[in-house]
Amino acid sequence: MLPSLLGAQVRARALGLAPGVFTPGTHNAITDVAGVRVGHATVSEGDSLRTGVTAILPHGGDLYRDRVPAALHVGNGFGKLLGVTQLRELGELETPILLTCTLCIWPAGDALAQWMLAKPENGNVRSINPVVGETNDGGLNTTRSRVGIGSAVRDALARADSGAVAEGSVGAGHGTIMFGWKGGMGTSSRVLPASLGGYTVGVLVQGNYGGVLQMAGVPIGQLLGRYAFQRDVAPVTSPRRAPGDAGAERGDGSCMIVIATDAPLLARNLERLGARAIMGLARTGSSASNGSGDYVLAFSTNPRVRRNPDATVSTNDELGNEAMSALFQAVTEATEEALYNALLMATPVSNRTATVKPLPVDSVRLFLRARGIQPQKLR
């Protein structure tokens, strides 16, 4: 097999893909927002179970009593998202966020509720609202088999840590597919200059969608001969369907996007921030097809806007609307780069019928260099 078809794990900046004008944080990850932790647990059993769980913890304290403001933005609602009616009603999170497979949200939510209720400080808590997002990894995973999901939830929560975040075919991204190639988990961050508040925005994505892949405006999907609607617009030259490529033919699939920031925002402006993440998704070539569930969950870790459920009066020091534009730019950039990382860091995953291979990185590198896009300082 030619080296250009083998693929190799690299982050986007190794290829010169550094969207935007703002600088990433230390790890170029959602964990650059102080206190945020991420944990993965991959479930791979037999010849057909290829899924996992990813946990995002907003801070290391009592999540139920020291709640963070949160919001949901729906780009296209073809999916299942557990716990969002209460999140939208109250504008806050009281549990970690979990990401998993489409039919795994209920056992995952139950395991998360048990994990929260088992904490000694929650002995008198009568109800809990777990928030669990999903994408359909049925191209590689037997989605009806939810073996090991509860255990994976506990493992992901136990492994949650700050610092560098594993990307690619791990955790909730183990069975996902993007644009007909192997997809996965990706992350990125941006730090605003001091003149704009010095705030950090971090993004974590679970990529499992299709469309017409482009990177920095370069039509990579078309150059590689794999893109949505190809059989309709170029039926003579269209290649034989690649394994796992069925969902990519019309751009179907889903994407979960989680945003963390230390900017003091409440639910209204967090929802506005989430809307801009969809712009980053679009820049990669997604048009949010009918069968695509594209959801954004955003939260603020800033202590000035946290909530205590027992408080009768809430006073918050929220950032004004005029200060939002730089954050909008930052989240658009970080989302685009996180999605590139999800693709570029993926490794091959096989089930009993096929192997889904990652994007051919060497070929992508040549296409980018031909347009003057050179490697950046790695982060």
Residue 349 lies in a domain: no
List 286, 289, 294, 300, catalytic entry: 294
d(CA 154, CA 156): 6
Which of 18, 16, 19 is closest to 372 using CA atoms?
Answer: 16
Residue 369 lies in a domain: no
> Residues for the chain: how many in total?
379
Residue 366 lies in a domain: no
Residue 218: give its domain's CATH number. 3.60.70.12
Does 144 score more than 70 pLDDT? Answer: yes
Which of 139, 132, 150, 163 is closest to 36 using CA atoms?
Answer: 163
Does 1 score more than 60 pLDDT? Answer: no
Residue 157 lies in a domain: yes
Residue 111 lies in a domain: yes
Q: Would you call 230 exposed, middle or buried from its count of C-beta atoms within 10 A (0-12, 13-18, 19+)?
A: buried
Residue 179's domain spans which residues? 8-310+317-344
Helix/strand/coil percent split, the chain, to 5: 30, 25, 45
Residue 371 lies in a domain: no
Please state the pTM of the whole predicted model: 0.94
List 44, 162, 289, 292, catalytic entry: 292
Residue 353 lies in a domain: no
254 annotated active-site: yes
Angstrom CA distances, 32 to 86, 164, 201, 260, 309, stand at: 28, 9, 8, 9, 27
For 84-99, the pLDDT digits (tens) are 999 999 999 999 999 9
d(CA 342, CA 334): 12
Does 80 score more than 60 pLDDT? Answer: yes
For 232-273, the pLDDT digits (tens) are 898 766 555 544 444 457 789 999 999 999 999 999 999 999
Q: For position 257, what pLDDT does the model report?
A: 98
List 44, 162, 188, 254, catalytic entry: 254
How many independent structural domains does the chain possess? 1
Q: What SS3 class is residue 248?
A: helix
Residue 230 lies in a domain: yes
